[in-house]
Each structure stands twice: as C-alpha cells, then as structure tokens.
Structure 1
Amino acid sequence: MSTVLAAEKALIGRGITGPVSVRIEDGRIVEVTEGAADGARAGLLTPGLVDIQVNGAFGADFAEIDEEGMRRIVSDLPRTGVTRFLPTLITADLSQLLEQARIVLNAVSTVNGQGARSLGVHLEGPFLSPKRPGVHDPSLMVPPTPERVEKMLELPSLRMVTLAPEMPGGIEAIHRLTAAGVLVAVGHTDATGVQTTHAADAGAGMITHLFNAQRGLGHREPGVPGVALVDDRYTLGLIADLAHVGADACRLVFKAAGDRVALVTDAVAAAGMPPGVYRLGGADVLLSDDGVPRSADGTIAGSALTLDRAVRNIISIGVDPVVAFRAATIVPADTIGEPAMGRIEVGALADLVLWDDELKPAKVWVEGKLVHDKETAEPETPIPPHRETAPQPS
C-alpha cells in the first residue's frame, strides 16, 4: 500500500522547490515528483529533524529513565519536529554509566514505534578533561585506558563517544573507537589546536557543543574552535539557544562552516517544561525564567532548547533557511552514519515534517506514520517539576 504526501513547498537537496509529491511504501520514499500536485498542503515539507545530543526532555532525564519517561519523550519529541534522536548520558563512574545506557536501550525497546525513534546511545564522558568540566563531575573523569575502552565497546548500540583527546591514551582510544564504527567527538577538552588536528588524524569527526567547555579561540593558539572552523573533517555541534553561543558567533560559525554545522539541543529534562528544578545525570538543575538550566553554582547545565526552536533561532539571525534546516536534518544524519535519514529522496526513510507559516511543526511522520498533527493534538499539560525548591550549593 502506498501513500502520497503533497506540499506546496519542500526542501529537496540544497534548495526549496514546489509543489512536490512524495510517494511512500513500507515506510520509505519510493518516488519524489516536482510540479503540479493534487491536494498539495500549504506549508513547507522537510525531512524529520535529527538530534544527536539530547540528555532528556519533558521532565525525564535519560540517566534516570523509566518506561513512562521514555514513552513521554518519544511521544512528545515529534511536536518539536524531531523524528530521530540520540540519547546522551553525561559523566558518571564507567560501570554506572554503562548500566544507565543499558536501561536507556531497554526502555527504548519497549516504546519502539510510538513516536520519534532512538539512534542508540551517546556517552559524553567519562574520558573528559577535569580542566573543562562544565557541569560534569571532574572527580569522575578518567583516562581512556584500553581496558576501559573495551568495556565501553561491549555496550550494544554505542554510536558516539565524546572525549578529550589530550587525556593519556586519548589518541589510541580514538583509533580503537572509530575502528569499531563509533563516532568520536572532541569535547570537554583543553586540547590545543595541534592536538585537535591530531584527533582528526586519528579519526575523530565531530566537536561537541562548539565553544562550550573547551579551550577557546585565540589568534596564535586556535584552540578547539579555531581548528574546527577550518578543518573539513569535523562536524560542528552547535547549541543554538543563543545563550550557549551568541548570535554573532553563530553567524560566524555558519559563514565559516555552514555545511558542517549540526544543530543540537543538549537538552535536559527541563526542555518543554515550566521553570522549576529538574534532574541531569543524578543532580538537580534549576530552570529559571530566563529559560537556561543551571547547576547550584550557576554553571549552565545543558539547555531547555528544542530543535525546532534552534532552527527558527538560526533563521532569525540571518542564516539561509535551507542551510538551517540542513543543519538539523542531513548533516547530523550523515555525521552519525545514517544515509537513509535527513533527506527527501528515493530510498530514504519517510521521516517528514510539514511546517506552518510560522515554521512550527504542523504534521510529523515517522516512516510514513503520522505521529503528530497540530490540528488534533491535545493541549499540552506540562508535568510539574519534581520539586519546587532551588538546588542549594554544597
């Protein structure tokens, strides 16, 4: 049985064209026709958004996930345009981290097919630099010894590891992980520009949240961002809430490396929720009225960003909408090694979003199945935070 979706405009390749008809069979696109289309829907049709760094959302933290929380996440992500996501876990004791990952994967298996689909798991730690911890606990950061790396590789569906390449054994770990098919991202690192280049030589392919928790850009010592902006081997993860990275810096990133930017949320349980106290990796974070989650000492702790808002933010600062949408679709899909996602073409999975005139998701399909319809969706009733008191400094 085939289904035809027609829209007045669609993102095809590197341009917006229309009208366009997309025929779907067995969850995949089998035909794309440009030109006159009967019953074309108003709005812009794009591939589904792909978020490859998300720690939680809608009141649920992946480090403390259960089936109910996972069901809420996969059901609610499509209303933000996200059809595929990579659950991310932050630094913990390695054994505990791997157990958290197994719980995540088990929870995913129980809700498969009910909304957005998981891509596996991303471990953001513990092979990070205590010099650039961000909100992570530096006391739990350890070098990536061969034994620890092999233990990590026993985890099924490990797709991505963020590490600091300057840590003892870092380059060897990058070689081993990439040889096993795992994407290695450079992050929470004090690496110099030279060390950042060496990491790419070893196979690292991404920068985790560019500019944040890493050695900064200098005019003689380029640090991580300087090398990342000019080294075509790197995809640049960018948190475009305009708080982690300011508008002018975001414009700079897109001017320098537009086709290599992957918009990510780095969202925590506070995403899609009212102000209050939420969890991240077993610790409390406060989401205040400014919309930025922070730890007890005031450190930014992930984000409350949704990926559709990231796209709108980037368009609002003057980036071409085609480039902005590609940064949330085909770029992250290709970076994580998923050539059948993030595009509207024959053979691709039928993960699609129809956007209204305000660039908000009106309808969302995952493998051809309608999983969000703004016209019939029930009003959102945010789950209250787990407690109302602010976290206190220790």
Structure 2
Amino acid sequence: MTQGDSQLSPDRSAAEPNCDLIVHSCRLVTGSATVEDGWVAVCDGRILASGSGTAWRSYPAREVVDGSARVLLPGFIDLHCHGAGGHSFDTDHGFIEAALAVHRAHGTTRSVLSLVAAPLDELRVSLGRIAELTYADPLILGSHLEGPFLSPSRCGAHNPAHLLDPTPSAVAGLLEAARGTLRQVTIAPELPGALSAIEQFVAAGVTVAVGHTDADFELTREAFARGATLLTHAFNAMAGIHHRAPGPVMAAFRERSAALEIILDGVHVDPSVARLAFDAAPGRIALVTDAMAATGAGDGRYRLGAAEVTVKAGRAMLAGTDTIAGSTLTQDSALRNAITLLDLSPEAAVQALTSTPAGVLGRRDLGSFDSGSAADLVLLNEEYNVLSVWADGVRQR
C-alpha cells in the first residue's frame, strides 16, 4: 500500500457499477502494511479498490461508513475451531450456524470446522453434514479432522477408545464422506501407515498437519517431506524443545513451507514461548482458537465429542482432570493478545489471523484488501475491539 491521496487499484471506468459499500477515513492494516486515512470500496462481494486520501468519493455507494479513528482489517480466518454458543460441531449439527454466529461477531469471517476423534461412522456423518453446509455457505471453508489418527499417549481431550491407525480404507472412507470439503487433517506420523496416509490425503487436496504426536525431529521432518505443511497447536500435545531432542516444533521452524498453529489465550502457550515462535518462523504462524462449545456461553459443564468438559473462569478442562480441552478464545482476543502480550506489530498480528491461514488453505482470494479479493472486513476501535463485520460484503455485525 502507498501513502497519500492515492488509489491502489486500476482506474475505475465510468461504465463500472456503483459500489455496495465504502469504508473510509480509517487505518487499513494488513499483514504487509499499514495505511493511514485509508478506504476500501466493495462491489458484488469483492474488493473493487482500496487506497488512501479522498479518492473514495469517486465511488458512489449504497452504504458509506465513516471509519474515522478506527482500524479496518481483513476478516479473520480460523483453521481450528470446535464450536461456540453452547454448541459443538461434532454433535450439534443443527446448531452449527448459531455457533459460527458467535465467532463472526468477533471478526472471524471464514471458519474451518474441527471434529474430535469419534467412531468412523459418526465422523462420516459429521463430514457429510459439514459438506452440505460448506456448499451452501461460502463462509464455511470445510472440515478439519483433528482425530482419529492421533497418538494414544498424546491424545489430550480426545477419547483414546476412538483412535485409529490411518489405513488406506479408513482414509478413503473419510474422503468420500467429505465430498471434497475436507480441508485439514491432523496425523501423528509415528502411527503405522501414517506416512503413506499423508501422501494419500495430500493427493486429495487436503492440508495435512502433524499433531498429537510423539514424533521426534527427524520423523516430523519426514512427514513434511511427504507433504505435511502444518503443525497442529504447536507446543501442545507434542514434545517440547529440548537441547538434545529438538522435537516437532523445531522441525517446523526449520521447514520453510510449514506453518504453525498457536492458541494465543495465555493458557495453552506462555506468551514468551509464543513470541519465540513468531520470531523463529516469521510469516508462518497461524493463530487459531481451538474454541469449544463454552465460547460465548459462560462457565459450566459442556461436551467435547464424548468427553465432559468443565469450564471455570473461561478455562476448559476435561472434567476431573488437569487436561486442557480446547479454549474459549475468539480471534479478536487473540489479536489483542498478540499486540499487547507479545508486543507484535499490528501487521504481524494481523498476518497470523488473515493471510497466513489463507495461504495454508491455498486461498489467495482471502486475507487481504487486494482488488478482486473477497470483501471480508472487520472494523475495530483503537483498542482492537470489534465494531462491525462484513463477509462477502454482507454485514454480519
């Protein structure tokens, strides 16, 4: 982006239609730049143009929003989320949109719906339901199988009775049920058949993440060599960094094509460790919520798949244990934590919520203000509290 009274897209001809929306006089922040006195013009659900100064006045629009003293960001993308509003994506199939409405109100305009380990028949039903919603609602990006291909010793809140080895037939059945909408799968690469399964999923266009694993540095590197490109909630449910056993996190730092999920709620990862990850893998951190049903619904007792979860002071734990069971995080809170707790630049924080997760999914039309990109916008005040949200140019809040 450039400064001054400028326009960041090709000149608009007189034949072009009027805009649906203009947001002007705000600070535009993307993962690559900040522009003062910026504006964005939206037409037919896409970014028509963006710039700085007063050039926006040449774009008559049905809705004009004065963003003075406010911040405009691309919509947030969540690669890893299990529910909200008292509803779980695993079991409450009729309430998925209600759960997503909670996250959309906090700036998450595109979501991947995560499923915990369950019997294969149940997973296929859930994948089929999410497929229907994905084809009907472009704001739903598809599904994420966090289980069942996980290490029993690192399964966290997943039911160990539902864990499986990734056989070719199991993989094929899940892919068939998802009908082209499975976006991500988490795999422990030490499981029998896991490396071949990584190749099978990648061949089907699925992003493969290493996670819930006892894999060491070398085996994780082999998983990346086979096509994995993501680390599920880095530092959690895996070995940490040891000076003689660097582990999967160090393997992801070294693999330039790999991104790392971070749950930045102050519970899953200490802020100093999270900052280390941003410094070690610049541009490759994707902030995720891993949010479960209690998000936006308050403390109490909830279900995560078949497991009972107790939430106290916003912290979700398997009932009767000290095992973390997801989070109650929203992406706007993750943004504020990145800026205040980690002292990241706004650009680096925004990148981790927008263009980096978009890149993980190969969606270059998301996460920016580039001309032709999806018109996903989040307007915030100077303290980064969400005021308004648009997705595909349609107001969500």
Give, as a single letter, the amino acid of the residue that structure 1 aligns with 2:125.
E
Distance 1:270 1:108 in 2: 23
Is the CA contact (8 Å cut-off) linking 1:66 and 1:107 kept in structure 2? no
Q: Is the 8 A contact 2:81 2:113 kept in 1?
A: yes
Does residue 135 (structure 1) correspond to residue 147 (structure 2)? The answer is no
The equivalent of 2:293 in structure 1 is 269
How far 1:279 moved relative to its partner? 1.4
Does the Cα contact within 8 Å between 2:159 and 2:307 map onto a contact in 1?
no
* Number of the residue aligned with 2:171: 149
Shift of 1:126: 0.7
Q: Identify the residue that residue 375 of structure 1 maps to in structure 2.
A: none
Residue 293 of structure 1 pairs with residue 322 of structure 2:
no
1:94 maps onto 2:112 in alignment: no
Aligned length: 366
Judge conservation of contact 1:63–1:282 (CA < 8 Å) in 2: no
CA distance in 2, matches of 1:141, 1:328: 30
Structure 2 SS opposite 1:88: strand
**Within 1, Cα distance between the matches of 2:282 and 2:37?**
26
The match for 2:337 among 313, 317, 331 is 313
CA contact (8 A) 2:366 2:373 kept: yes
- The corresponding residue for 2:227 is 203
Shift of 1:182: 0.3
Quick one: which amino acid aligns to residue 342 of structure 1?
A: G
Alignment counterpart, residue 381 of structure 2, candidates 356, 362, 365:
356
> Percent sequence identity over matched residues?
38
CA offset digits 1:298-338 (Å, max 9, x no partner)? 21100011111011111112111110111001100110111
Is the CA contact (8 Å cut-off) linking 2:143 and 2:184 kept in structure 1?
yes
- Cα deviation 1:70-100 (Å, max 9, x = unaligned): 2312322222110000000011112211112
How far apart are residue 105 of structure 1 and its match?
3.5
The 8 Å contact of residues 174 and 184 in structure 1, kept in 2 or not, is answered as yes
Contact conserved, 1:12 with 1:345, CA < 8 A, in 2? Answer: no
Does the 8 Å CA contact 2:134/2:141 hold for their aligned counterparts?
Answer: no
Amino acid corresponding to residue 155 of structure 2 in structure 1? P
Shift of 1:292: 0.9
Distance 1:121 1:370 in 2: 24
**Which amino acid counterpart does residue 313 of structure 1 have in structure 2?**
N
**Would you say the 8 A contact 1:54–1:265 is kept in 2?**
yes
Secondary structure in 1 matching 2:395:
strand
Mean alpha-carbon deviation: is it higher for 55-64 or for 135-144? 135-144
CA RMSD of aligned residues (A): 1.5
- Contact 2:113–2:144 (8 Å) recurs in 1: yes
Judge conservation of contact 2:150–2:163 (CA < 8 Å) in 1.
yes
Shift of 1:283: 2.1
Residue of structure 1 in register with 2:29 after alignment: 11
Find out whether 1:22 has 2:40 as its counterpart. Answer: yes
| Partner Cα separation in structure 2 for residue 77 and residue 192 of structure 1 | 35
1:58-73 correspondence runs (5 A) = 58-67=85-94, 69-73=95-99
Q: Deviation per CA, 1:147-202: give whole Å up to 9, x if none.
A: 11111210221111001111111111111111111000000000010000001100
Aligned: 1:45 with 2:72: yes
User: Cα 1:101–1:248, aligned 2, differ >3 Å: closer, same or farther?
Assistant: same
Quickly say closer, same or farther: Cα 1:103–1:12, change in 2 above 3 A.
closer
8 Å CA contact 1:135, 1:299 repeated in 2: yes
Equivalent in 56, 59, 62 of residue 83 of structure 2: 56
Indicate if the aligned counterparts of 1:90 and 1:136 stay in contact, CA closer than 8 A. yes
Secondary structure of the structure 1 residue equivalent to 2:282: helix
- In structure 2, relative to structure 1, the CA distance for the partners of 1:249 and 1:301 (3 Å cut) is same
SS in 1 for 2:149: coil
2:236 aligned with 1:212 = yes
Name stretches of at least 5 consecutive residues in structure 1 with no aligned partner.
373-394
Cross-structure match for 2:248: 224
Q: Provide the C-alpha distance between the structure 1 equivalents of 2:130 and 2:164, rounded to a whole number of angstroms.
A: 23
TM-score for both structures, normalised by structure 1? 0.90
Deviation for aligned residue 1:13: 5.0
Structure 2: runs of 5 or more not aligned: 1-17, 58-64
Q: Which residue of 2 aligns with 1:369?
A: 394
